[in-house]
Amino acid sequence: MSDRPLNFIEEIVENDIDSGKYEGRVHTRFPPEPNGYLHIGHAKSICLNFGLAEKYNGKCNLRFDDTNPLKEGEEFVESIKRDVKWLGFDWDDRLFFASDYFEKMYEYAVKLIKMGKAYVCDLTPDEIREYRGTLTEPGKESPYRNRSVEENLELFERMRNGEFEEGSKTLRAKIDMSHPNLNMRDPVMYRIIKKPHYRQGKKWYIYPTYDWAHCLEDSIELITHSLCTLEFADHRILYEWFLDQLGIYKPQQIEFGRLNMTYTVLSKRKLTILVRDGYVNGWDDPRMPTIAGLRRRGYTPESIRDFVNRTGVSRTDSVVDYALLEHCIREDLNKKANRVMAVLDPLKIVITNYPEDKVEWLDAENNPEDEKAGKRKVPFCREIYIERDDFMENPPKKFFRLAPGREVRLKHAYYITCNEVIKDEDGNIVELRCTYDPSSKGGWTEDGRKVKGTLHWVSARHCLDAEVRLYDNLFIKEDPEEDENFLNNINSNSLVILQNCKIEPYLKDAKVGDKFQFLRKGYFCVDDDSKDGKLIFNRTATLKDSWAK
Ligand code: ATP
Ligand code: MG
Ligand code: MG
């Protein structure tokens, strides 16, 4: 357990344990609506809810808040289960679906009607809004507010049976149309939606609103601490009102600040637009801030949990720098990822004094941060590739890489000196002729002469072809939502595909999801699109850390 100070939620929980509230139990839940994939903001809620249960010997439910048939589906349920597991959490046998409680919710609604606390209203959604009033103006009572209990019961049953058109009737709580909190002005509990539900089929024509459903879900599951984001603070009074009227078990709702991140959007509605309209290639596109996207990009569960922990738990919303997320994956992969050599933009070199048919297998350390990672053999021969931008024909003073007459070190191999530049008819450089110093094997010489530049390279005879995908932010602005339409801030250069990369043969057996550091180029991960004989890599992050502590 860490020795950081308690966050405000842990303080509440510890007080409740001490005072014996809920008999000292801690029972939380993570309640996603299965209408999209989880994003990094959800990861915060997952770590918080499952983390509290872990820390206080409690339980955490995974509950699908599937009360609206319009956008929900099985694909989302499966992706959410997968992502929660992948993040390292387990709901054991505590997997629940709010839609399984529909009958029970209906019974509770009937109970409220019988108590004279709910009524069927014929106002249209627009009229309901208009009657609601504003923060400074009290609302107006609906002309249907004083229907008899009998009439309400009959109409509500007929709503359930599908006898009325969508939008023609609602069930509303009868509270107070001049209440200072607008949520208390006769909130809607049920509306008519004539669409099949992915789990309930055509059983229901009425669906509960969030406010009505959520408190019941928490109550039915005997949740102790119901954590939600700040925008629900104004709804807590209603959450408690419903449970108090029904006289049933009442959890406590606690609000915490939402996580936001620079250069991206964290809203399922907006992420859905990106997917639906083809701005990205699916929910797991490596540019997406979804868990599935981050996983495909090469993020590890450890790095995401570390990130979430560093962002803390607070009572205000926060915007976290994307650079912090990158910092966390670099820290993790620096320890875990083997270093290999890959040339992303190859330029051929012929080493003229190296024997034509000779091949040497040189020793290369896999990870200087981890001795147990061992060593591998890297082939060296007369023809190699280096990075095109590691050579300049007319270099400025501070350029320490290869240039005519200059000597550089090839990592794990020898010193080479460039003697000749070969060009095609258009003047493009197509090849370099170099000589090597046989006494510099391993990258040093006895005379101790200074060679500043060290380049990565691959053997042209042994290397494999690979595709490499480089990513940039999805949006050009730190806050893409600062403009009316966030789509205007899409970065049209967020993906660069390099088709002609050369990688060392050691990578031959790399599997989807395997992670490496390509020396000098960053952290890379084998992409799902890879096929036998053609590896595709995603750049997870560059090596340069811009996180300012
Ligand atoms: P979105 O606005 O992206 O649709 P949501 O809150 O509607 O998010 P849900 O599926 O209802 O999505 O969320 C499940 C849980 O995750 C909720 O308890 C919610 O408060 C929490 N959550 C969602 N987004 C964030 C976020 N950015 N930061 C922290 N918690 C979040
Ligand atoms: Mg929601
Ligand atoms: Mg939402």
For residues 277-296, average pLDDT? 98
Q: What does the angle CA 335 – CA 453 – CA 521 come to, to the nearest 5 degrees?
A: 40
| 41 annotated to a ligand binding site | yes
Q: What is the pLDDT of residue 332?
A: 98
Question: pTM higher than 0.90 for the full model?
Answer: yes
SS (H, E, C) 482-526: HCCCHHHHECCCCEEEEEEEEECHHHHHCCCCCEEEECCCEEEEE
Does ligand 1 come within 6 angstroms of the Cβ of 228?
yes
Which sequence positions are flagged as catalytic? Answer: 33, 258, 268
* Residue 478 CA, ligand 1 centroid: distance in Å: 21
End-to-end Cα separation, the chain, in angstroms: 24
Neighbours of 510 (CB within 10 A): 20
Location of structure tokens 């007080």: 15
Cα separation, 353 vs 331, in Å, equals: 42
Contact present, 326 and 289 (Cβ < 8 Å): no
Neighbours of 11 (CB within 10 A): 11
| 229 annotated to a ligand binding site | yes
Q: What is the pLDDT of residue 476?
A: 97
pLDDT digit string, tens, across residues 353-390: 999 999 999 999 999 999 999 999 999 999 999 999 99
Cα separation, 410 vs 88, in Å, equals: 41
| Domains defined along the chain, listed by start | 19-256 (3.40.50.620), 268-338+466-541 (2.40.240.10), 339-461 (2.40.240.10)
* Residue 517 CA, ligand 1 centroid: distance in Å: 33
- What DSSP string runs through 272-324? HHHHHTTSSSSTT-TTSSBHHHHHHHT--HHHHHHHHHHH---SS-EEE-HHH
* Residue 267 CA, ligand 3 centroid: distance in Å: 6
Does ligand 1 come within 6 angstroms of the Cβ of 45?
yes
pLDDT digit string, tens, across residues 190-238: 999 999 999 999 999 999 999 999 999 999 999 999 999 999 999 999 9
Cα separation, 281 vs 275, in Å, equals: 7
For residues 519-530, average pLDDT? 98
